[in-house]
A and B are shown apart, each in its own frame.
Chain A
Amino acid sequence: MLKKTYENIDSIGRSILSIKAEGVHNKELAEVIYPNGDKAFAQVIALNNDEVTLQLFGGGFGVSTDCKIRFLGKPIQVGFSDDMLGRVYSGNGKPIDGGPELVTDMVRVAGPSINPVKRLIPKHMIRTGVPMIDVFNTLVRSQKIPIFAKAGEPYNRLLANIATQTDADIIIIGGVGLKYDEFHYFRQRIEEAGSKSKTIMFVHTHRDSIVEGLMVPDLALAVGEKFALQGKNVFVLLSDMTQWSDYLRQVANAQDQIPANQGYPGDLYSQLASRYEKAADIEGAGSLTILGVTTMDDVTHPVPDNTGYITEGQFYMKDGFLELFGSLSRLKQQVNDKTREDHRSIMNVMARLLSEAEERVKAQKFGSVKDDYSFRLLDYRKAFQKELMDPFRYLELEDALDLCWDILAKYFKKEEVGLSSKLIEAFWPKEGEYKILKSQGNE
């Protein structure tokens, strides 16, 4: 296809450029050619008569009216091959680890959605060793789920833990707006865990342009999807999608789009959804699981709010702990009936009692807690927090379930917990005989 070059740049913004040109395709890739011969990528995002709007990968700074634009006659693609394993790339798909560039099979970025009937019902539990996840909100292969946390919480540590403690074939890390030390941390953890040879990183740090940041999830997911179609079980980590949404807002704003909530573009939901929906367990192939981070102060903020309606649950992190309330794995029902017969019942009872205990915490502030049962509930709450909520305590699921029974038996009578008589008979620990709970030093 003929590559046309144009010189009459109309306007240059922070991340947007417009130029008069003809025969240009929507979403076509283009090059910005600087007077000194340097090049940077851009993508067509809107057309209006002969006016073409482009999104600048390198940002608008330094682009001059004597730059030229060449339309490349192809969409954005990313290289794809096994040679990518162990490598680190930037948000424009170029290697940043000093290694060679890839020019092998190119795959389309942000391609169409997989036909839902080609999806399988997810049914493989991903064991993470984190009791708050395995017991209460089991992670399932092909799930898309974010960690909701304030900036400053150790969410990246948890993300890396889960990724390296699972048996995924391929791990792809998509870093959007990472601080340099976070990038370094991921790299180090992957190497320590010995998973470098099955890991690919796409990294955008704060020094890079926001358009490159916007591309990171698409690159990570396009490559991940391709591996999944080849039968691999792929685990994609995205951190942080709030940054990503903010970049989206900046670009929409530069285009003079009418904003919806809090300045975010009206299509925030669709934009997030088209990325997260890449998660799938594919009939006759592999799977793609997405674990992301959504930083937030308040869950009603448009980014976590929209995310929650797309993803299959969320893990709340607060004060370094994984929260029970608010956290949810929508797919847990697909797997937790096959783990152990007490799993579902015990997780519900533990939660119900904890919520009862939370009421007592409130009541305590009024000085109205005076009875023995309430005091026991409060002790139960303390034990729950100490024994179960630490996201960095490793326990096999079965041990974690036993621990739940231990805690119940320590603070309650059998008839107080509301479990079926059948389960109580099978699992209630004998007096003082705890399997996991250390009875000493717990109080």
Chain B
Amino acid sequence: MQKAKGKVLSVNESLVGVETTQGAVMNGEVAYIVLEDGKRLKSEVIDVKSGQMVYLQVFEDTSWMRVGDLVEFSGLPLAVKLGPGILGSVTDGLQNPLYELAKTEWFLERGIVVEPLDNVTTWEFTPKVSIGDTVTGGDVLGTVPEKIFEHKIFVPFSLSSNFEIIEIAEKGAYTIDDPIAKIKDDSGTIKELTMAFEWPVKVAMPFNERSVPEKPLPTGIRILDSLFPIAYGGTACNPGPFGAGKTVLQHSLARHSQADIVIIAACGERAGEAVEVFKDFPELIDPRTGKSLMDRTYIVGNTSSMPVAAREASVYLATTVGEYYRKQGLNVLILADSTSRWAQALRETSGRKEEIPGPEAFPMYISTLISAFYDRAGVDILKDGTVGSLSIIGTVSPAGGNFDEPVTQATLLSTGSFWGLSRALSDARKYPAIDRIDSNSKYPSLLKEEEVTYLLELLRDGKSIASNILLMGEKGITDETYIRYQKSELLDAVFLQQNSFNDIDGVTNPERLRLMFDMVFAIIEASIDLKGKEEIRTHFNFLRQAFLDWNYMSVNDENFEKQHTKLINLVKQRTYAKEDL
């Protein structure tokens, strides 16, 4: 295909109309607008009209552009470079490494292009194939150690026919641009391969053998792991009004989830919060590896003041990188914050294109895009039998905290867990403020199914008793009902609530979750011999105090067992012996 050329006809913020003068144009193709000072602004074809008129969304500020400026089309779709060196890096939505850019400038000046992957560092390559072997796309040529993983070097996934290895690099150190293999197909065409290749971000990488997500992914957050779990390869939707605690929850998930790789897509979010992650993580030690948390993290930092068109790209960039590491046989978790910002970016562009708007002025195709995005999550059984997974937790920021709006609704239809954040809970400082009644999950929990049902029933009872107390006062209900209410409140206070700023209470591993559940369960199960609201409340206050003290103790603490026993005794003191009943 001959690459097209064109010139600018109209400029309206990030939407630029171009008249092409030669060559064919592809939807989704990358084009560069050349300004009079020689700066080249990256953009993407989003619409072709009457054959010649092309609309571009520009990934950078369009100031100083003129009608008549030249446009060079690349013939290639927007793509991400995949290979060793991604982990630990921080890039913008177009894979420009932010630390590299920061070497010369305080600001994100436009038109500056930096190699997406470090091409100076060498990687210790160990070949896994020999001359004469037959390979195809997705086969492993060799490995290099990357941070804490063996990074597999693949035959690019886009190659679908069979090739014969005619040259393969010896064990040794190579940069990602050094040739490491030559392959030949049936027709005799020879291709030279390096350790990196490109993949178009908007095209989902095919699964080898897709499987159903059914293994719980421990997050360290008790209310999720017990009541509303996510599975490896699953998807979750996390909507809530601002101020309900999404950010803190996301940070906690990023730190403590038992995934091999965490990818954070700060999609149109506050820069200050993104910074917190990429400045904090290198300092934090991953308890499972003993290495820096950043070694298993990749951050797309396309924050709210960066050009709006790159916001959409950032979500796809993160997903493509996630799919690549899934192909490595790893468990990848993507935290996308927020997909509403991405949808808003689409709305902005759609409005400028003067498309007929759908509900709340979002484009009609928004739900299709959202479900296609979440469908890129999943479990993949790879060629060598190992299993990789990609899980996506998408934050939604619904306008006015209203869950009926189109983005939240489309997300709900596309995801397996729903964690609705509630303003009432956050006002009451009951964190995580995930609605206990309205949230749900279709994935298996770390607890048994009947245990989950049991807890949810207690919570629903508690809620309805609370509204009775509101209407009739504590005196209007029986002691028995009041005890049931106190149990539900206790469950909330000591088990569902969790202090994410405390090192110990902030994260609960599956073993401790079980221990805590058993303790809570013992309290709830016990019939309690108490009369009068005051006495009942006092008893539960003591229980809560003792439980909270226990929550803040490390299992290695010498008092941990003592406190455990103290709790058991507190329960026993006020419990009927079973035979008395």
Point out residues on A near B: beta carbons under 8 Å: 22-28, 46-50, 75, 111-122, 142-144, 229, 257-261, 265-267, 269-270, 273-274, 276-280, 282, 285, 299-302, 305-306, 308-314, 325-326, 328, 330-331, 333-334, 337, 344, 348, 351-352, 355-356, 359, 362-363, 366-374, 415-416, 418, 420-421
Contact = CB atoms under 8 A, between A and B. Distances in A.
Contacts of A114: 106-108, 271
Residue among B242, B280, B347, B545 with max Cβ neighbours from chain A (10 Å): B242
Interface in B173-189: none
Q: Which 9 A-B pairs have the closest CB atoms?
A: A300-B400, A368-B473, A277-B305, A273-B304, A308-B242, A355-B428, A266-B351, A27-B63, A260-B361
Contact of A368 (B241, B472, B493): B472
Given A266-B344, A372-B534, A415-B545, A116 B98 contact: yes
A300 B398 CA distance: 10
B284 to A, nearest CB: 13
Given A258-B351, A310-B304, A371-B534, A418 B474 contact: no
A366 B101 CA distance: 63
A112 B427 contact: no
11 contacts: A116-B98, A120-B279, A121-B275, A142-B272, A305-B400, A352-B428, A352-B429, A368-B470, A371-B475, A373-B534, A416-B541
Contact of A116 (B301, B493, B541): B301
B61 interface: yes
Interface in B99-147: 99, 101-102, 105-110
Contacts of A337: 501
A310 B533 CA distance: 46
Residue among B108, B304, B308, B361 with max Cβ neighbours from chain A (10 Å): B304
B10 interface: yes
Residue among A111, A117, A359 with max Cβ neighbours from chain B (10 Å): A117
A47 B470 contact: no
B63 A26 contact: yes
A320 B303 CA distance: 35
A267 B270 contact: no
B325 interface: no
B238 interface: no
Nearest to B90: A117
B470 A366 contact: yes
A28 B279 contact: no
A280 B13 CA distance: 25
A274 B474 CA distance: 52
A371 B90 contact: no
B327 to A, nearest CB: 29
A370 B475 CA distance: 7
A343 to B, nearest CB: 11
Nearest to A325: B427
Interface in B322-375: 338, 341, 344-345, 347-348, 350-352, 354, 357, 360-361
Nearest to B400: A300
Contacts of A25: 63-66
B243 A313 contact: yes
A314 B243 contact: yes
Nearest to B537: A373
Contacts of B357: 258, 260
Given A115-B101, A121-B279, A277-B271, 7 more contacts: A26-B65, A115-B106, A330-B272, A344-B501, A363-B471, A368-B470, A420-B548
Nearest to B276: A121
A363 B473 contact: yes
A85 to B, nearest CB: 23
B544 interface: yes
B510 interface: no
A260 B351 contact: yes
A116 B107 contact: no
Given A269-B304, A310-B304, A371-B533, A112 B400 contact: no
Residue among B101, B106, B537 with max Cβ neighbours from chain A (10 Å): B106
Contact of A355 (B64, B352, B429, B552): B429
B25 to A, nearest CB: 20
A352 B489 CA distance: 13
Contacts of B109: 112
A277 B347 contact: no
Given A47-B67, A142-B272, A415-B545, A113 B303 contact: yes
Contact of A282 (B106, B402, B542): B106
Contacts of B279: 120-121
Contacts of A280: 271-272
A24 B347 contact: no
B529 interface: no
Given A46-B12, A326-B243, A368-B471, A415 B399 contact: no
Contact of A420 (B278, B475, B552): B552
Interface in B273-289: 273-276, 278-280
A259 B193 CA distance: 50
Nearest to B424: A355
A326 B429 CA distance: 11
B509 interface: no
B4 interface: no
B206 interface: no
Nearest to B344: A269
B504 to A, nearest CB: 12
A266 B347 contact: yes
Contacts of B257: none
Interface in B381-429: 397, 399-402, 423, 427-429
A258 B473 contact: no
Contact of A261 (B272, B345, B361): B361
Nearest to B494: A418
Given A115-B102, A270-B348, A370-B473, A355 B427 contact: yes
A46 B63 CA distance: 10
Nearest to B304: A273
A368 B476 contact: yes
Contact of A121 (B107, B280, B475): B280
Nearest to A345: B499
A299 to B, nearest CB: 8
Residue among A306, A311, A330 with max Cβ neighbours from chain B (10 Å): A330
B556 interface: no
A115 B399 CA distance: 28
B538 interface: yes
Contacts of B544: 418
Contact of B538 (A48, A111, A306, A415): A415
B549 interface: yes
B204 interface: no
Contacts of A75: 63-64
